[in-house]
Amino acid sequence: MSKHVLITGGAGFIGSHVVRLFVNKYPRYTIVNLDCLTYAGNLANLQDVAGASNYYFEKVNILDAVALNEVFIRYGITDVLHLAAESHVDRSIVSPLDFVYTNVIGTVNLLNVAKENWKSNMDTHRFYHISTDEVYGTLGAEGLFTETTPYSPNSPYSASKASSDHFVRAYHETYHLPTVVSNCSNNYGPYHFPEKLIPLFINNIIHKKPLPVYGDGLYTRDWLFVKDHARAIDLVFHQGKIGETYNVGGFNEWKNIDLVKLLCSLMDEKLNRPAGESAQLITYVKDRPGHDLRYAIDANKINRELGWYPSVTFEEGLSETIDWYLSNGEWLQQVTSGDYQNYYQKMYNPA
Ligand code: NAD
Ligand code: DAU
């Protein structure tokens, strides 16, 4: 069946991979990428699909309910994949309200517009909310996050995502909006904005700048290649059960310091630098306040019910990611000029 799919946040990191996958894989779908292009949104992420006949872009803020409604009517939107968000934990510590506006109020706007436009035949539609494992809080040395782990968010970012997840649940229970949610672990890959650990450190290694490891570097994350997340999103969108949540993760836990050392040695090889040179850039800096010790996802439900499993190893994904950054210097240069320099200065070299 032909669908008219609204993808919010499609100019961001994960959203651009989802838009690319859907535009290429589903030529009979109309794909509308709705994004207000914050510092994290970049149409250069989608140059290869921008001319496709089934692709449309709308520069709209999800805080603007009137403009959202116009887009629903203009394209006869049948389905939503909601990825638009403020996504960086460090920025949420500095400006929590920005996260409340976009992640909470923006999501509720979108839920309202979908509910009103679909009220005569809810069952033929789908509202898919893409969320994070950070809503579950932090783990100790043992255990995994499952779909039934109680929410316990610790940062303003994760609190805003948890709130948006609760609103999605409430719209399903109260108005029978056909919703589905997935909560994913840390993504990495091409087009990742260099404020997050992996792309920031790749950029700094290229320029021989210090690598700022927070605290003792013993924090643990579960890393997933972004194209595998996009494949999971495709499956959940088409086959996930309405009202359900699916956890998505890489089965791939790394302590930050071990990951950084692996990244340094891969980059030394690729840049023809002496072994050990990049690791000398490692600099321990002041910790992130409220820093969650460990995230790790139990992704067995999506594996069992939808047959999803990561397709690449971490070493393969990381190698492809580094190669992409080394061949896309112009992209990196463009996103690290201007405001990025001010952000970096304030974040890492405060007066
Ligand atoms: P990102 O920051 O790279 O991209 C966010 C996109 O949303 C940008 O294109 C931005 O312009 C757009 N946007 C922000 N505010 C908007 C607004 N008010 N109106 C319209 N557009 C707006 O984020 P990402 O890393 O691609 O994450 C996408 C989604 O996936 C988020 O909801 C995030 O919480 C979730 N998620 C991310 C990860 C991860 O590791 N990056 C993991 C799990 C879940
Ligand atoms: O778990 C999913 C989440 O992963 C997503 O919901 C978020 O949108 C995404 O940003 C990511 O959050 P993290 O806080 O885990 O990612 P980040 O890349 O910011 O940090 C990863 C780890 O590296 C974390 O323990 C903090 C540490 N770190 C990060 C930066 C930017 C450093 O040590 N130094 C740094 O400069």
Report the nearest atom of ligand 2 relative to the CA of 198: 18
* Residue found under tokens 């809080």: 137
Q: Are 263 and 314 in contact (CB under 8 A)?
A: no
DSSP string, 119-187: TT-GGG-EEEEEEEGGGG----SS--B-TTSPP---SHHHHHHHHHHHHHHHHHHHH---EEEEEE-EE
Give the pLDDT confidence score for residue 56 in this predicted structure.
98
Pocket flag, ligand 1, residue 157 (CB < 6 Å): no
> Taking 80 as the threshold, does the pLDDT of residue 122 lie above it?
yes
Q: Is the CB of 247 under 6 A from ligand 2?
A: no
The per-residue pLDDT for 338 is 86
Section 26-35 average pLDDT: 98
Torsion of CA 331, 332, 333, 337, to 10 degrees: 110
Per-residue pLDDT reduced to its tens digit, 65-93:
999 999 999 999 999 999 999 999 999 99
CB distance 219 to ligand 2 below 6 Å: yes
Q: Which tokens sit at 202?
A: 């790749």
Is residue 134 annotated as a catalytic residue, yes or no? Answer: yes
Place of tokens 């638009």: 84
Separation of alpha carbons 23 and 144, rounded Å: 34
**Which residue out of 35, 79, 86, 134 is catalytically annotated?**
134
Q: Where are the domains of the chain?
A: 4-189+223-250+298-312
- Across 105-117, average pLDDT: 98
277 is catalytic: no
Q: Cα of 47 to ligand 2 centre, how many Å?
A: 27
The backbone torsions φ and ψ at residue 68, rounded to the nearest 5 degrees and listed phi first, read: -60, -45
Q: Find the ligand nearest to 190 CA.
A: 1
Mean pLDDT of all residues in the chain?
A: 97
Structure tokens at 305: 């019910």
Ligand 1 pocket, residue 12 CB under 6 Å:
yes
Taking 80 as the threshold, does the pLDDT of residue 1 lie above it? no
The answer to whether residue 219 scores a pLDDT higher than 90 is yes
Over residues 205-209, the mean pLDDT reads 98
Distance 89 CA to ligand 2 centre (A): 7
What is the rounded distance in angstroms from the CA atom of residue 233 to the CA atom of residue 130? 8
| Residues 292/135, Cβ–Cβ less than 8 Å | no
Q: How far is CA 273 from CA 198, 267, 281, 327, in A?
A: 19, 8, 13, 17
Report whether 67 contacts 77 (CB < 8 A).
no
CB-based contact 103:110 (threshold 8 Å): no
Has residue 126 got a pLDDT over 80? yes
Nearest-angstrom CA–CA distance, 194 and 197: 7
Cα gap 218→196, rounded to integer Å? 17
The answer as to CATH 3.40.50.720 being correct for domain 4-189+223-250+298-312 is: yes
- The distance between the two most distant Cα atoms of the chain, rounded to a whole number of Å, is 66
Token pair, residue 214, equals 């927070």
Q: Which residue from 20, 38, 105, 161 has its CB within 8 A of the most atoms of ligand 1, so it is best to mutate?
A: 38
The question of whether 58 is a catalytic residue gets the answer no
Q: Are 60 and 71 in contact (CB under 8 A)?
A: yes
List 35, 86, 133, 253, catalytic entry = 133
DSSP 8-state class, residue 27: T
% of the chain exceeding 70 in pLDDT: 99
- Answer whether residue 351 shows pLDDT above 80: no
pTM: 0.99
Q: Which atom of ligand 2 is nearest to the CA of 132?
A: 6
User: From the CA of 224, how far away is ligand 2's center (Å)?
Assistant: 13
The catalytically annotated residue of 55, 128, 136, 157 is 157
The reply to whether ligand 1 has any atom less than 6 angstroms from the CB of 149 is no
Q: Whose CA is nearest to atom 22 of ligand 2?
A: 197
Tokens found for residue 346: 């304030």
CA 278 – ligand 1 centroid, Å? 30
Residue appearing with tokens 């779909």: 147
Question: Which pLDDT belongs to residue 2?
Answer: 86
Which of the four pLDDT bands, split at 50, 70 and 90, describes residue 350? confident
